[in-house]
Structure 1
Amino acid sequence: MHNNGRPHPSRQVPDVVVIGEALTDVVTTPEGTTEHPGGSPANVAYGLARLGVSTGLLTSIGADRRGHALETHLADAGVTVLPGSRPLERTSTATATIAHDGSASYAFDITWDIEPPDLAHTPPKLVHTGSIASFLPPGANCVKAILQKLRSECIITYDPNIRPALLGTQAEARHTFEELVQLTSVVKLSDEDAKWLYPEKALEETATHILGLGAELAVITKGQSGSLLATPTTALSIPAVKTPVVDTIGAGDSYMSALILGLLTHGTNGLAPSVLDQLGCTAAAAAAITVSRAGAKPPTEDELRTQLQHQHQSQLHPHA
Structure 2
Amino acid sequence: MFLVCGEALFDIFVDGNAEISSTQLSLDAVAGGSPFNVAIGLARLKQPVALLSGVSEDFLGQRLMAVLEREGVATEHIASKALPTTLSFIQKDDEGVPDYAFYGNGAADRAVLPQDLPEDATFSGIHVGSYSIVTPPTSESLLSLIWKHSRKCLISLDPNVRLNVEPNKDIWRERVALIAKHADLLKISDEDFGHLYPEIAFEDKVTEWLGLGISLVVLTKGGDGAQLWSQTDTASVATPKIVVADTVGAGDTFQTSLIDQLLTMREASSDWSAQLNAQKLQEIGKFAATAAAITCSRQGADLPNREEILAAQ
Q: Does 1:71 align with 2:71?
A: no
- Quick check: 1:60 aligned with 2:58? no
Cα 1:105/1:83, change in 2 over 3 Å: closer
Q: Distance in 2 between matches of 1:227 and 1:165?
A: 26
Where does residue 295 of structure 1 map in the other structure? 300
Q: Shift of the alpha carbon at 1:105?
A: 7.4
Q: 1:235 offset after TM fit, Å?
A: 1.6
C-alpha distance 104-160 of structure 1, shift in aligned 2 (>3 A): closer
> Displaced runs of 4+ in structure 1, greater than 4 A?
96-99
Letter in 1 for 2:137: P
Structure 2 match to 1:39: 33
> Quick one: which of 90, 103, 108 aligns to 1:108?
103
Q: Is the 8 A contact 1:158 1:184 kept in 2?
A: yes
- Report the Cα distance in structure 2 between the residues aligned to 1:22 and 1:69, rounded to whole angstroms: 11
Whether 2:202 is the aligned partner of 1:198: answer no
| 3-state SS, counterpart of residue 214 of structure 2 | coil
One-letter amino acid matched to 1:35:
A
1:145 maps to 144
Q: How does 1:8-47 map to 2 (within 5 A)?
A: 15-29=1-15, 30-47=24-41
Q: Closer, same or farther in 2 for the Cα pair 1:187/1:290, shift >3 Å?
A: same
Aligned letter for 1:61? V
C-alpha spacing 1:212/1:98, structure 2 compared with 1 (3 Å): closer
Task: Report how far residue 167 of structure 1 moved.
Answer: 1.6
Q: Secondary structure at the match of 1:164?
A: coil
Measure how far apart 1:262 and its partner are. Answer: 0.2
Distance 2:77 2:258 in 1: 26
Instruction: Give 1:71-220 correspondences, 5 Å limit.
Output: 71-96=65-90, 106-110=101-105, 111=107, 112-114=110-112, 115-118=115-118, 121-220=120-219
1:79 and 1:145, CA in 2 relative to 1: closer, same or farther beyond 3 A?
same
Q: State the alpha-carbon separation in 2 of the partners of residues 195 and 75 from structure 1.
A: 37
Alpha carbons 2:117, 2:141 under 8 Å: kept: no
3-state DSSP class of the match of 1:280?
A: helix
Q: What is the SS of the residue equivalent to 1:57?
A: strand
Provide the secondary structure at the position in 1 that maps to 2:31.
Answer: strand
Deviation at 1:125, TM superposition (A): 0.7
Question: CA–CA distance in 2 between the matches of 1:33 and 1:202?
Answer: 40
Cα distance in 1, alignment partners of residues 218 and 14 from structure 2: 34
Report the equivalent of 2:42.
Answer: 48
Decide whether aligned partners of structure 1 residues 235 and 87 sit closer, same or farther in structure 2, where only a CA change above 3 A counts.
same
Task: Choose 149-158 or 81-90, whichever is displaced more.
Answer: 81-90
Aligned to 2:21: none
CA distance in 2, matches of 1:234, 1:83: 37
TM (normalized to structure 2)?
0.86
Query: Is residue 59–residue 81 contact of structure 1 (8 Å, CA) maintained in 2?
Result: no
* Corresponding pairs, count: 291
Question: Does the 8 Å CA contact 1:194/1:206 hold for their aligned counterparts?
Answer: no
Change (3 A) 1:233 1:83: closer
Deviation at 1:272, TM superposition (A): 2.2
Quote the offset at 1:98 in angstroms: 8.7
For residues 231 and 99 of structure 2, the distance between their equivalents in structure 1, rounded to whole angstroms, comes to 41
- The percentage of counterpart residues that share the same residue type is 32
Corresponding residue for residue 18 of structure 2: none
Amino acid in structure 2 at the alignment position of 1:282: F
The C-alpha deviation readout for 1:100-149, integer Å capped at 9, x for no partner, is xxx97724224312243435x33111111111111110110010000001
Corresponding residue for 1:6? Answer: none
Whether the aligned pair in 2 keeps the contact of 1:26 and 1:34 (CA below 8 Å) is yes
The farther-off stretch of 226-235 and 109-118 is 109-118
Which of the numbers 271, 282, 289 marks the counterpart of 1:284? Answer: 289
